[in-house]
Structure 1
Amino acid sequence: MALREEQARDRKRVGALHREAFGGQHGEVVARLVEDLRRDDPAALSLVADEAGEVVGHVMFSRCRLDAPRRLVDVVSLSPLAVGPHRQRRGIGRALVRQGLQELDVRGVPLVFLEGDPRYYSRLGFGPAEAQGFRRPSLRIPDAAFQVVTLPAYEPWMTGTFVYSDTFWRHDCVGLRDQAG
């Protein structure tokens, strides 16, 4: 398996991968989110896992902000991450995230935030963000799901409220909506 930056030729397969991995309407929303993140944040880090010429995994790290008391800090969000259903539990997602974190370290990014399953992401170095002095951008994000990893560029004064880029808000991809309403 090769890990590499996403190329223009991968875009259709990446969209199909998110539709397949997330399923139904949610998969469609995530695929459109990826398309818009590419457009809205040309510097986003978008990596694919390639097995024999087939894209089997994808992760995106895009620009967000931390509203710290001293000043705004450029940080990133890990979202989304997808691996084809028939290739899950083989370390593909873990490899993509680790490769991305290494590249972000080289770029001087101090913090990476996400919403996700702490049982999975804790194995990759992520921990509860609120316990480290960060506030959620929405009360719809479950406490345990709001996670962060600090990279070497992090400094202790970097605390405050995590702020998603407008792209996440336009797609209503922040936190969980009440499905009964």
Structure 2
Amino acid sequence: MPIRTEQPSDHAAVGALHRAAFGGGHGGTVAGLVDALRRDDPATLSLVAEEDGEIAGHVMFSRCLLDAPHRLVAVQSLSPLAVAPHRQRRGIGAALIQAGLRRLDERGVPLVFLEGDPGYYSRAGFAPAGDHGFRKPSLRIPDQGFQVVRLSAYEPWMTGTFVYSATFWDHDCVGLREPPHV
């Protein structure tokens, strides 16, 4: 399965993929986040997996910060990750994650954070970030869902609070929201 850098000609297919994978209103929110991250962070690493000539999966890694005691550290966030519903559970998401982590490691990125299912992401080397001295940026993020992977450039002094880029906050894509009361 080929994995490659997303091209502008892929944007519509990637948006449709996120709407299908996340469903309902949330799929539109995630597709909007992807569009905004492309616009707001030109260095975003955006990868697609192809299968049978179609976009089967997409992952995005974007610039964030770690507020460490010594200084701010440029880190990355893995968000979002989506695989076409009819192609899930075949290793596409895992392959996208590993390809992205390899590229980020080559670029000298020390840490990658995410919010997600620990059962899934632990297979890609992620661990609960709180267990490694990191603080989450929102109380709405479940402790076990706030995860990190340390890459080659990581140094032990790199601890502190993870800070999402403004784009995540602008799109209200940090942490879990309680269902609205009716």
1:85-96 matches, cutoff 5 A: 85-96=85-96
In structure 2, the residue matched to 1:168 is 168
In structure 2, the residue matched to 1:127 is 127
Provide the C-alpha distance between the structure 2 equivalents of 1:56 and 1:28, rounded to a whole number of angstroms.
Answer: 18
In structure 2, the residue matched to 1:12 is 12
Instruction: Give percent identity, aligned residues only.
Output: 73
How far 1:173 sits from its partner (Å)? 0.2
Tell me which moved more, 61-70 or 171-180. 171-180
1:31 maps to a residue whose letter is A
1:145 maps to a residue whose letter is G
The answer to whether structure 1 residue 41 and structure 2 residue 41 are counterparts is yes
TM-score normalised to structure 2 length: 0.99
Unpaired segments ≥5 residues, structure 2: none
Hey, which bits of structure 1, 4+ residues long, moved more than 4 A? none
In structure 1, the residue matched to 2:116 is 116
Provide the C-alpha distance between the structure 1 equivalents of 2:5 and 2:51, rounded to a whole number of angstroms.
Answer: 14
Render the CA deviation track for 1:47-94: whole Å, top value 9, x for unaligned. 000113210100000000000000000000000000000000000000
Unpaired segments ≥5 residues, structure 1: none
1:36 maps to a residue whose letter is A
Provide the C-alpha distance between the structure 1 equivalents of 2:23 and 2:36, rounded to a whole number of angstroms.
Answer: 19
Render the CA deviation track for 1:9-47: whole Å, top value 9, x for unaligned. 100000000000000000000000000000000000000
Provide the C-alpha distance between the structure 2 equivalents of 1:35 and 1:112, rounded to a whole number of angstroms.
Answer: 21
In structure 2, the residue matched to 1:102 is 102
2:83 maps to a residue whose letter is V
2:93 maps to a residue whose letter is G
Provide the C-alpha distance between the structure 2 equivalents of 1:2 and 1:179, rounded to a whole number of angstroms.
Answer: 39
Render the CA deviation track for 1:116-141: whole Å, top value 9, x for unaligned. 00000000000000010000000000
Q: Classify the secondary structure of the residue corresponding to 2:140.
A: coil
Provide the C-alpha distance between the structure 2 equivalents of 1:15 and 1:107, rounded to a whole number of angstroms.
Answer: 27
Provide the C-alpha distance between the structure 2 equivalents of 1:144 and 1:103, rounded to a whole number of angstroms.
Answer: 26
The answer to whether structure 1 residue 76 and structure 2 residue 87 are counterparts is no
Q: Classify the secondary structure of the residue corresponding to 2:155.
A: coil
TM-score normalised to structure 1 length: 0.99
Tell me which moved more, 91-100 or 52-61. 52-61
Q: Classify the secondary structure of the residue corresponding to 1:161.
A: strand
In structure 2, the residue matched to 1:153 is 153
Aligned residues: 181
CA RMSD for the aligned pairs?
Answer: 0.6
Provide the C-alpha distance between the structure 1 equivalents of 2:140 and 2:3, rounded to a whole number of angstroms.
Answer: 33
